[in-house]
Amino acid sequence: MNKVIAVLPGDGIGPEVTNQSIKVLDAVAARFGHSFDYRFAVVGAIAIDQTGNPLPDSTVDICLNSDAVLFGAIGDPKYDNDPSATVRPEQGLLKLRKVLELYTNIRPIDTYKALHHLSPVKAKQLENVDFVIFRELTGGIYFGKKEKTDDGNAATDECTYSKYEIERITHLAFQYAQKRKNKLTLIDKANVLETSRLWRTVVREIATNYSNVAVDYMYVDNAAMQIILNPAQFDVVLTENMFGDIISDEASVLAGSLGLLPSASVGNKAALFEPIHGSYPQAAGKDIANPIGSILSVAMMLDHFELTEEAYAVRNAAEWTLVNGFVSKDIDAVNNYATSTIGDLIADHIERNKESTVSSNASLNKSTII
């Protein structure tokens, strides 16, 4: 199979983790006889530095002419600390989601037994945790009208949803639930927000077409608590843009680290794959970031290409590193491995289709603080 992949490494640790994903894709290509043609493009702060625009037209063109987009991360402290900046890296990602019409963001929350001890949540609560967040990605408060009064003393962010925007993601979420445990939870704030009441009405209507799926409705404040108290109750979680952003970071603590979680953003004309973490500027260039979120995003990309065996090989290799302690600093502050080493180990595991052999700690760049 030949595929064109747009690669947008972005800022901070984005390029480092994306490089590991490319190693992994190359290993998949070598083992399974595929060819992946990478087209690199800039986005975020690096794009502002180079062109003045966080999403240059050339980047959009490359994305529109590819089979999938591999995205790293965006963000730079020089903008975070300057609320008056009118051009910001995040605008690049938001505009990209909008122009590619990536209205559904899928964030699987898996936990690994070998890492249960790392989660601040008790291991008992983590048993059987396996759910997927369907976050609406191109509507709501993120994209509503933004205003500030002339005197700067008041500001507004509008939250709007149309029935159509809710319907299209809701169908995808129900179809996904049918391939899993047939359960869907809508998270909203229908006791307060008009948009949430519209979400409930639309979801209730659509639910009649999926009668084998059990639906429940949960207010977002309660959901924030339930994700910690009893996360195993969830299967498919459906929610609007802003709530999805917040609860997916929260849910990542179940896995043990934000660095582990992948995501896929899909629509009718494009698909983008990115780890859920940010650009983590403090770690940039140090070869310490966790590449697993990006690498598991590649597994989701391979699923999207219907390369099931290939996706399995990637997940299997990633899990092998976690189980065997080949983990980055966010997972183990004492015994850890470099970003690039973890990428090499996973690529090697895939290509040889057998467990990589470990020769010495030195050659693995193992950092041991004793």
- One of 48, 93, 184, 346 touching ligand IPM (CB under 6 A): 93
Looking at the Cβ atoms of 105 and 185, the one nearer to ligand IPM is 105
Q: Is 189 a catalytic residue?
A: yes
**Which one of the listed residues 80, 130, 249, 332 is annotated catalytic?**
249
- Identify the burial level of 335 via C-beta atoms within 10 angstroms of its C-beta, where 0-12 means exposed, 13-18 middle and 19 or more buried: middle
What is the pairing mode between strands 236-239 and 183-188?
Answer: parallel
What is the pairing mode between strands 130-136 and 236-239?
Answer: parallel
Concatenated DSSP letters of 179-190: TTTSEEEEEE-T
The H or E element that residue 319 is part of is helix 308-323
Query: Minimal distance in Å, beta carbon 349 to ligand IPM?
Result: 28
- Residue nearest Mg ion, CB atom distance: 245
**Which one of the listed residues 142, 176, 210, 337 is annotated catalytic?**
142
Concatenated DSSP letters of 31-76: HHT-EEEEEE---THHHHHHHS-SS-HHHHHHHHTSSEEEEEE---
- The residue length of the chain stands at 370
Report the partner that residue 317 touches, choosing among ligand IPM, Mg ion, none (CB closer than 5 to 8 A by kind).
none
11 is in an annotated binding site: no
Contact positions with ligand IPM (CB under 6 A) in 53-82:
75
CB 295 within 8 A of CB 305: no
# binding residues, ligand IPM (CB under 6 A): 6
Query: Minimal distance in Å, beta carbon 276 to ligand IPM?
Result: 6
CB 44 within 8 A of CB 281: no
Q: Is 287 a catalytic residue?
A: no
Q: Is 76 a catalytic residue?
A: no
Contact between 188 and Mg ion by CB under 5 A: the answer reads: no
- Residue nearest ligand IPM, CB atom distance: 90
Contact positions with ligand IPM (CB under 6 A) in 243-302:
245, 276, 278
Neighbours of 169 (CB within 10 A): 26
Q: Is 249 a catalytic residue?
A: yes
Contact positions with ligand IPM (CB under 6 A) in 316-335:
none
Indicate the residue type of 265: S
Query: Minimal distance in Å, beta carbon 130 to ligand IPM?
Result: 21
Residues 6+ apart with CB under 8 A from 156: 145, 146, 147, 148
Contact positions with Mg ion (CB under 5 A) in 244-283:
245
CB 73 within 8 A of CB 92: no
Contact between 100 and ligand IPM by CB under 6 A: the answer reads: no
Report the partner that residue 93 touches, choosing among Mg ion, ligand IPM, none (CB closer than 5 to 8 A by kind).
ligand IPM
Helix (H, G, I), strand (E, B) or coil at 213: coil
245 is in an annotated binding site: yes
Looking at the Cβ atoms of 136 and 245, the one nearer to Mg ion is 245
Q: Is 329 a catalytic residue?
A: no
Contact between 90 and ligand IPM by CB under 6 A: the answer reads: yes
Applying CB under 6 A, the residues found at the interface with ligand IPM are: 75, 90, 93, 245, 276, 278
List the catalytic residues.
142, 189, 221, 245, 249
Applying CB under 5 A, the residues found at the interface with Mg ion are: 245
